Amino acid sequence: MKNKILILAGDGIGPEIVTEAVKVLDCLNTKHRLNLELNHALIGGAAYDQFQTPLPTSTLEAARDADAILLGAVGGPKWESLDISVRPEKALLGLRSELALFANLRPAILYPQLADVSSLKPEIVAGLDLLIVRELTGGIYFGQPRGIRILANGEREGYNTYVYSESEIRRIGRIAFESARKRDGRLCSVDKANVLEVTGLWREVMDELSKDYPDVELSHLYVDNAAMQLIRAPKQFDVMVTGNMFGDILSDAAAMLTGSIGMLPSASLDQAGKGMYEPIHGSAPDIAGKNIANPLATILSLAMMMRYSLDLPEVADEIDLAVGRLLDQNLRTEDIYSAGCNCVSTQQMGAALIKELH
């Protein structure tokens, strides 16, 4: 039975939002006798402060041992001057790569209750339900060689390598086609095939794969156009699949369509469905410790954990529906506040959710 959950609170607002999510997990654990075993470990700046590394071996071992991982956020100004090799973000990249969590699912759903918080007009975003499938363990984030070298003339030159093998493209492609098949059956692959050979291959492999999925309608967009279309008419998309860096950028853009990045969960999965679950927002150091951060992205990440790693879809639905009811009650943290609503703290939002679950 899959029941070992590793909790990695991390930095900034991480501990506050994860505390609320853990209360939700405890509540569901008792209510449904899920027999979940929770362990905690340090990651990011918090780990660096104690062990001089953002990803201690003990944390990596615990992560390997777990069936699913809940992560808050990592990073902050305190660690920004550190060498890139020990920066908190390195821990996140290390976990993704060491655990082969290559499939990053980032849904962007606009709750109808929040249509007026989006920076776009309600008629453009109302009903938005989009899934970005981002490749997470390859591309320019991990390509070798990389570094900063000194040229013959003494000038410095920075370089990275954008590389994807056919098998890497194929495995993320399959996840995307399968996801589209379970949704509205439309998949848009995003590349820069007019300039970059690596994404020319990406496009070819997606076309080859589409023969196995005749029920899914595949289209292609260049990333610049995709960014524009996301802002112009986001509802044209069902599932988007793209590489690591384009996915990083497009998913932040998609997040904003929904009103607040504070509402968006994510799952990072390996081939067997083991996953790391995290809100897509970062550690938000400017609001850390103030009890105002939105815990809902983390709580919705728990729902994804129930769905994708623990095979508990009913529990996932229970969490999703409870979040909808909180919004119906006009409970809002600052990031999703609009006039006439009831502005609540991180802890109040968490407590209100627990009440809904009882």
How many CA atoms does the CB half-sphere of 75 hold within 13 Å? Answer: 14
Minimum Å gap between C-beta 189 and Mg ion is 20
Catalytic, 355? Answer: no
Instruction: Indicate the residue among 21 and 132 with the shorter CB distance to Mg ion.
Output: 132
CB contact at 8 A, 233 and 124: yes
- The Cα 73–Cα 10 span in angstroms is 5
Of the residues 192, 238, 277, 308, which is catalytic?
A: 192
**Residue 126 partner contact from Mg ion, ligand IPM, none using kind-dependent CB cut-offs of 5 to 8 Å:** none
| Residue span 318-357 as binding mask against Mg ion, x where in contact by CB under 5 A, dash where not | ----------------------------------------
| Best CA proximity match to 168, nearest among 194, 198, 192, 147 | 198
133 binds ligand IPM (CB under 6 A): no
248 binds Mg ion (CB under 5 A): yes
- The Cα 127–Cα 345 span in angstroms is 27
89 binds ligand IPM (CB under 6 A): yes
Cα angle for residues 100, 103, 108 (degrees, 5° grid): 145
**Residue 92 partner contact from Mg ion, ligand IPM, none using kind-dependent CB cut-offs of 5 to 8 Å:** ligand IPM
- Which region, judged by CB under 5 A, interacts with Mg ion, from 13-21, 61-69, 75-83, 244-252? 244-252
From the list 67, 238, 248, 356, which residue makes contact with ligand IPM (rule: CB under 6 A)?
248
- Which region, judged by CB under 5 A, interacts with Mg ion, from 71-79, 243-251, 262-270, 304-312? 243-251
CB contact at 8 A, 337 and 316: no
Of the residues 252, 270, 320, 337, which is catalytic?
A: 252
Catalytic, 224? Answer: yes
From the list 92, 131, 296, 303, which residue makes contact with ligand IPM (rule: CB under 6 A)?
92
**Residue 89 partner contact from Mg ion, ligand IPM, none using kind-dependent CB cut-offs of 5 to 8 Å:** ligand IPM
- Residue 10 — left, alpha, or beta (φ > 0 → left; ψ -120 to 50 → alpha)? left
Q: Which residues pair with 159 in a beta bridge?
A: 147
Of the residues 212, 224, 286, 317, which is catalytic?
A: 224
Q: Which helix (H) or strand (E) holds 277?
A: strand 275-279
Catalytic, 191? Answer: no
Minimum Å gap between C-beta 135 and ligand IPM is 11
- The Cα 118–Cα 264 span in angstroms is 13
CA distances, 105 to each of 4, 209, 266, 307, 312 (Å): 21, 19, 6, 12, 18
- The Cα 301–Cα 44 span in angstroms is 19
Q: List residues binding ligand IPM (CB under 6 A).
A: 89, 92-93, 248
Q: List residues binding Mg ion (CB under 5 A).
A: 248
What is the set of active-site residues?
A: 141, 192, 224, 248, 252
